[in-house]
Amino acid sequence: MRVLVNDRVDVALATGAAGVHLPSTAPAVAVVRRLVPDGLLVGRSVHVGDDVREIERQGGCDYLTFGTVFPSAGKPKGHAVAGVEALCRVCASTSLPVLAIGGLTVPLAAEAARAGAAGVAAIGLFADPWRHESRDTDRTQRLVETVATLRAAFAAVAGNI
């Protein structure tokens, strides 16, 4: 398992994490690359398609996270939603892997895969099994099933390309 730290390059380095995920407001990836060792994964959030071309031009980014793709309980009411069509355009506009984020469920993750996403980044999708009152083994099993279903959805799309 690889752990990526959100936003904190210093914490990623201090903990030996596999990488760091930069918000769209962070310094350019090229600046961060000068501070981190070779092999550290560096990803970046993007919210509009124009950002993608500039980030790719600057170089050094290993992956992108795009969203909010679907309405999300984790965002305030009225938060802008990009939609699956925008995700499709972003995925088609870059050679970098793009992870979809925002409002994901298993069926919506499959839709993101069909739009070209290389994977998903999610909180609610993985936290939901832990929200239910049940034995730990039941929650663990639901989490394992969720991950297996996601893998199958992305594998199915990869097999159709």
* Residue 94: inside a domain: yes
CB 46 within 8 A of CB 52: yes
Per-residue pLDDT tens for 33-68?
999 999 999 999 998 777 898 899 899 999 999 999
* Structural domain contains residue 66: yes
- The region that residue 67 occupies, defined by phi over 0 for left and psi between -120 and 50 for alpha, beta otherwise, is left
* pLDDT digits 0-9 by tens, 117-140: 999 998 888 776 555 555 666 777
Percent of the chain with pLDDT over 90: 58
Domain, as residue range, for 35: 4-124
Q: Is residue 113 part of a domain?
A: yes
CATH classification at residue 34: 3.20.20.70
Structural domain total, the chain: 1
Rounded Cα–Cα distance for residues 20 and 91 (Å): 21
The string of pLDDT tens digits covering residues 66-120 is 999 999 888 878 888 999 999 999 999 999 999 999 999 889 999 999 999 999 9
